[in-house]
Amino acid sequence: MRQSRSGPGVSVAKNGGKREMVSIPKGQTCLWGLLRETRGNTMKKVLFATTALVMTAGVAAAEVAVSGDARIGLRYESNTNYGDFARNAAGDIIGYDEGDSSWNVVNRARVKFHMTGESDAGITFGAKVRADQAARANRGDNNSSTAGEVYVSGAYGKLTAGDIDGALEKAVGDLPEVGLTGLDFWNEFAYATSEEVGGDASLLYEYSFGNANIYASFSDGYIGNTSIKRDDNAWAIGLGYDLGDYTFGIGYESAEYTINPFVIDDDGIESVAVGPLGFAAPSDTWGISGGTSWNGITFKAAYLKTSSDDDLLDYAQYGLGMGYEMSNGVGLTAFYRKNDFKNVDVDGRAFGLGASYDLGGGATIKGGVVDSKINVGSYDIDNTLADFGLEFKF
């Protein structure tokens, strides 16, 4: 809910979940906390959304929305040594030992803030951040912040900076996610200009006209939040087209490093690049995708090809995805993805199946299975992942 121009205010959720507008005099500061209001002899509590908000007369509308998510369940992995090769001093693979299987408890809770505003001229602006990202989102004073996002939007498009996807990924996209936890996100293709490269922030421009969406992005050359510059800039362009039941995407990106398509986790920036990030060979990638949907069933196909200055790192990624949403709250997802290096004996594939059931009120039962296999020369490395549990949206 946005406030009217006649008086600034904020939308808050009171007891029982009903949202009401609370007015704040122009030019005054509202300290957010636990506010009590009196109606007769009844004291009711109002839990405000965040820590502080300064209202000024030059702002036409402002709002801070709070949401969150949580999950609980179990996760299984058949091979805890997946991809952990034994190497000699020269770095050559000399062996591989399969690890043990494991069961792990899944539990996570996150609070999300979405701040929005609109100027008198009609320019929309805002920021999104999770509570656990607050420290990294606040470090972008002289350099780039690597968490959350800030955006401004108007008649000439939308500009976003932060931990976001690049233009190629926005246009081409990924395959359907399966499971409660994403199961290592094998459904996601490897992009150089992507939020998965967690050490760099990106700048993304989006503009829509008719059924077309244009994207352009740039990832900076600084190591995280420091002033240390390195040679690892990346940029991308993309075009998406929506014909109702049919969608298409195409794009191109250029990076001064090469991304490893087999490791797409966001736990560390060094783990997602072939060689030290910023010093591996430069690369160029183009991609294309297409999809269709009818009667609740969706299909998608995508193909990406990466050419590196190091010929040994040339590879292709491609895959198929499917989703089905039933009227009774049951959802099904599936994907198949393949990575194939051109000039070395390395390839891999993964397929996944997922199911969900909407319990209503923001609660969903979710589960999935992913089977992956990497072939490196004479070594075949297999791993099976599975999870099951409950996801909550607040």
Q: What is the SS3 assignment for 174-199?
A: CCCCCCCCCHHHCCCCCCCCCCCCCC
At residue 213, what is the residue type?
A: N
Check residue 279 and give its pLDDT. Answer: 54
DSSP letter, residue 2:
P
C-alpha pair distances (Å), 198 with each of 101, 106, 145: 28, 23, 11
> 59, 26 in Cβ contact below 8 A?
no
Check residue 85 and give its pLDDT. Answer: 62
Check residue 382 and give its pLDDT. Answer: 87
Check residue 100 and give its pLDDT. Answer: 85
DSSP letter, residue 135:
H
Which residues of the chain register pLDDT less than 70?
1-61, 82-88, 90-96, 135-146, 195-200, 221-231, 263-280
> Of all residues in the chain, what percent are helix, strand and coil, respectively (each to 5)?
5, 55, 35
Helix, coil or strand: residue 353:
strand
> 241, 225 in Cβ contact below 8 A?
no
pTM of the predicted model, to two decimals?
0.78
Residue with tokens 């939020």: 195
β-strands 59-77, 379-393 pairing:
antiparallel
CATH classification number, 58-393, choose in 2.40.10.480, 3.50.50.60, 3.20.20.20, 2.40.160.10: 2.40.160.10
d(CA 85, CA 288) in angstroms, rounded, equals 33
Reference 256, options 237, 238, 274; nearest CA is: 274
Q: Which residues does residue 367 pair with via DSSP β-bridges, in sequence order?
A: 355, 388
